[in-house]
Structure formats: C-alpha cells, structure tokens
Chains A and B, each alone.
Chain A
Amino acid sequence: MDIKILGTGCTKCKKLLETSEQAAKEMGIQINVEKVTDMEKILSYSVMSTPALVVNGVVKVMGRVPSLDELKKILS
C-alpha cells in the first residue's frame, strides 16, 4: 500500500506518520510511506489543510490526525 503524508513539517504531521505506521503494523500490512513537504507537490493534491493522508493516490484525511482506530478503517 502506498501512503503519503502531506505537510510542511509540523508536529501533527509527525503524529499522523507515527499513527499510520502503528496502524499498519498492528494490522500486519506492508506500507510504503513517503513524506511530502514541498508546497508545490502538496498543492497538486488540492489539499489546503495539512496534515493530509493520501492512500494509493487518493486524499483520505486532511487537516487533522485521526485516531488509531479510524486509521485502521481507512487502511483496510
């Protein structure tokens, strides 16, 4: 599964990254995480509020950090 975390490096982006990795680990799925910090690239996803989570090219969450349970649902 291809995952991208969009954000300019705020604390919430780190938290989203950590929570996503934990969710994937607990579910036992293989993920490929990439952090996108470049404003121009973030823009190409039409996202205005960071942090945002992109799963296989689709924006799933933006502007907030979901709970571990919600992330598991998103990743399944």
Chain B
Amino acid sequence: MDIFSWLNSQLLRMDWLSSLVRQLVEKVFHLNTTSRLGASIHFFIYDVIKIFILLSVLIFSVSWVQSYFPPERTKRILGRMTGFKAKIVGALMGTITPFCSCSSIPLFIGFTNAGFPIGVTFTFLISSPLVDLASVILLASIFNWQIAIAYVVTGVVLAVIGGTIISKAKMEKYIESFVLKNKMADIEPDKLSRKERIRFSTDQVKDVFQRVWVYVFIGVGIGAAIHNWIPEEVITSMAGKDKWWSVIVATLMGIPMYADIFGTLPIAEALVKKGVGLGTALAFMMSVTALSLPSMIMLKKVVKTPLLVLFAGIVTFGIIIIGYVFNTFDYLFI
C-alpha cells in the first residue's frame, strides 16, 4: 500500500474520523447519512472535529518554529539582504510569522524603522496573512498536496510582485512619519528554554482557539448548508465555472468579510464540490483572509490613504488573477 496516500487519507483527511462520525449519526441519532439532514450533521460534526484537531497540532508546531524566529531576529536576518533575494526571503518569512494583522503591524513598523526598502516590507505584509504553514497543511487536507503547493507558490509570487510594484511607485512618503522617527535599537530577544517554548506554543494554540472557534462553527455551518441544502443549479448559475465574472464577484464579496482561514476552508470545500471553479473558491478564501476591514483599520494607523489604496488594489487584482489561473488549469489539480 502506498504509504503517502495512507498518510494523506488517515492523518490529513482523517477518513477514520469520517467513518466514526458516520457510526455516530447512524447508530446514535438514527439518521441515514445519505439523507439531507443526516449528511449535514455528518459534515458538520466531522469537519468541526477535524479542523479543531488539525488546528491544535498545526498551531502548536508552527508556534514551535516561530519561537526560533521572533520578529527581532527576522528583522536582523532580512536586514542583511538586498534586492530580489530580500523580497523572496521576506515573503517566505511572512509564511512562518503570526496569523493575525494585530501582530504584523508592529512588524511593519519595526522593518520600516530599521530602514528596510518599502518593497521588502510590503512583500512581507502581503504574504503574512495570505500564506502560512498551517493553512497550507489544511489545504492539503481538504483538497490535495498539488493544490497546497500551487497555493504557496502563487501566494509568494503575488507577494513579491506586489512588493516590487509598491517600491517602483515611490510610496515612501505615504508612511506615517512617527514610524521613522526615533530609531529603534536592535535588541536581542531572550533565549528560550524548551519548557518556555512548550508554554509559548500551548499559549498560541489557546489564543488561536479563542479567536477562531466562532468562525470555524459559522464556516462549517455554511459549508454544510451549501453542501446539502442549496441546489447545485443555484450555485453554478451564480458562480459556476462557465461564468467569467465569478472570480471577480467572489473576490469582491470576500473583502469586507473577516474570518480566519480555518473558517473559510470548509466553505471553499463545499463550493468546489458543488461545481464552483477551484480558482473562484480560492479567490474567495484569499480575499477573506488577506483583506479585511479590521486589518485595513490597523494599517491606516501607519500608512496614509494612497499607499493603503494601492496595497488593497494590488492584493485584490493579484487574487483575481490567481483565481483565473486556477480556474483555467484546475484540470491539473482535481
């Protein structure tokens, strides 16, 4: 037996959990899992448990890695590099740093204050919410590895191109002046012991849990509804593969919404199963996670409107392009 496909179906997709929940729904609730209600309940319980298990394991391991790269250290590593290399490394660093915008803004300030080129900082800022290790593994779990890897690659490319455009546009003057005033000192973060790392990682898991559990419930709920209650024709007539505007609509709809990637994935999963293009579903997911009102409000504190508009514009445009690329080539992935 192929060990990888076994690992994939049992560890990532958790087929064992699916059959366990099927037992529960059929034996305890006495519902047929092929009926609408039974299938919805099965989808809901299975997906919520799966996401919570993955979330705990993933956040713990990602936080462990992160504990070796505190922002102060990232700053020193990136500070030694220039040009294209700095942008690529910036985008990659963005993938292993925190999940929410509340922690990426202090990073933005620290980078800018240290005299980093604006292009590098924005590359980091685009990639940080868009691509992170946890979401990649989750994508592999719900779809497959090819999609997960393609997602990372396009995310990093989008971040590098976005950063390059912003640096070419000479936007430095639109950064709030206090960011550059008062040079920050380079401080050496304290070395952590193993015990402290475990504590840090457990705290992160708790913190993320508290922040996202509502979104997971809502997301899986919507996913279950799409999955079993909304007729396929309704969804494909609004966002089917043959509708050229579906990607644009999905992206624009996602911008004002704010949810964690853990909450949006089950929706994307259900949409793809109902005949929505993979690119359309990914575009929706990306725009919900990368662009949101709260993160825009945070950013507004440190940059002025023209730069903020350009940033949002580039990310929106990039997501739309990625959506079309995935829709065109989705036969390669599914």
Contacts and interface: CB of A to CB of B under 8 A. Distances in A.
B187 interface: yes
A43 B189 contact: no
Q: Specify the main secondary structure of chain B where it touches its partner.
A: helix
Contact of A50 (B106, B190, B199, B207): B106
A26 B42 CA distance: 50
In terms of DSSP, what is the predominant structure of the interface of chain A? loop
Contacts of A55: none
Residue of A11, A50, A63 contacting most chain B CB atoms (<10 Å)? A63
A19 to B, nearest CB: 11
Contact of A43 (B71, B103, B178): B178
B302 to A, nearest CB: 7
A73 B246 CA distance: 58
A42 B182 CA distance: 11
B200 interface: yes
Interface string A1-13: 0000000101110
Contact of A63 (B178, B189, B302): B189
B109 A43 contact: yes
A24 interface: no
A40 B200 CA distance: 26
Interface residues of A, number: 23
B106 A49 contact: yes
B75 interface: yes
Interface string B54-96: 0000000000000000111001000000000000000000000
B315 to A, nearest CB: 23
Interface residues of B, number: 29
B110 interface: yes
B182 A48 contact: no
Contacts of B105: 8, 39
Contact of A39 (B109, B190, B210): B109
Contacts of B75: 48
Nearest to A39: B301
A64 B203 contact: yes
A46 B71 contact: no
Contacts of A62: 70, 72, 189
Given A11-B210, A39-B302, A46 B185 contact: yes
B11 interface: no
Given A39-B109, A39-B301, A59-B187, A49 B72 contact: yes
A71 interface: no
Interface in B296-334: 301-302
Interface string A41-54: 01110111110000
Contact of A11 (B178, B200, B207): B207
Nearest to A42: B106
Contacts of A11: 207, 210
A11 B182 CA distance: 28
Interface in A26-76: 39-40, 42-44, 46-50, 59, 61-67, 70
Q: List 9 A-B pairs, minimum CB-CB distance, nearest first.
A: A48-B110, A48-B71, A46-B184, A46-B185, A40-B178, A49-B71, A64-B200, A48-B106, A46-B187
23 contacts: A8-B102, A8-B106, A10-B102, A39-B178, A40-B178, A43-B179, A43-B182, A44-B182, A46-B184, A46-B185, A46-B186, A47-B106, A47-B187, A48-B70, A48-B72, A48-B109, A49-B70, A49-B71, A49-B103, A62-B189, A64-B203, A65-B203, A66-B196
Interface of A: 8, 10-12, 39-40, 42-44, 46-50, 59, 61-67, 70
Interface of B: 70-72, 75, 102-103, 105-107, 109-110, 113, 178-179, 182, 184-187, 189-190, 196, 199-200, 203, 207, 210, 301-302
